[in-house]
């Protein structure tokens, strides 16, 4: 049985200006959306929590297909409310070579800004956003806890690149 997303959670629609953020990655380095956009498009993948099977599977898909998700004009980042030390241990154990960003404090502010925070549970739903170099959301989708993104979701997000 899947749990539906929080009623209040509504992902930002395509065509919206992506909210700027600056978060710390698993190595405690600051990463901002604007700096990522200097390279090109940015795929932002919100996930609920580290060390969970569905999240490991989804981020494992990115890891196993990294050339599709990280090239000269695309950067993929994953975002969770977990703290950087947790993300460091988890990403090292799983071999994730892409940034895992911490939306820990203020708790869930970036997920909230993108409309994917589940306020009742205190973590993000599985939001997927493709942000173009000019800062517009080109792809937007969300599934709730217990639901995994499908291959079709990944394909559609990557195909939305202009």
Residue positions annotated with a catalytic role: 55
Q: Say if residues 15 and 136 touch (Cβ distance below 8 Å).
A: yes
Neighbour count for residue 83 (Cβ, 10 Å): 16
Can you say how many angstroms the Cα of residue 79 is from the centroid of all Cα atoms in its chain? 4
Residue 128 structure tokens: 């997927």
Residue 91 structure tokens: 């990403």
As a whole number of angstroms, the distance between CA 153 and CA 124 comes to 17
């Amino acid at each position: 049985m899947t749990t539906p997303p929080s009623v209040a959670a509504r992902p930002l629609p395509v065509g919206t200006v992506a909210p700027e953020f600056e978060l710390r990655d698993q190595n405690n380095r600051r990463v901002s959306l604007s700096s990522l956009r200097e390279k090109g498009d940015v795929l932002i993948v919100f996930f609920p929590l580290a060390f969970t099977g569905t999240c490991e599977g989804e981020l494992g898909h990115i890891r196993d297909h990294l050339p599709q998700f990280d090239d000269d004009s695309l950067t993929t980042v994953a975002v969770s409310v977990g703290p950087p030390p947790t993300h460091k241990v988890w990403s090292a154990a799983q071999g994730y070579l892409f940034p895992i960003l911490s939306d820990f404090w203020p708790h869930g502010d970036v997920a909230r800004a993108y409309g994917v925070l589940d306020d009742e549970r205190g973590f993000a739903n599985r939001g997927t956003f493709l942000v173009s170099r000019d800062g517009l959301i080109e792809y937007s989708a969300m599934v709730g806890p217990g639901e995994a993104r499908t291959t079709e979701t990944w394909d559609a997000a990557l195909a939305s690149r202009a």
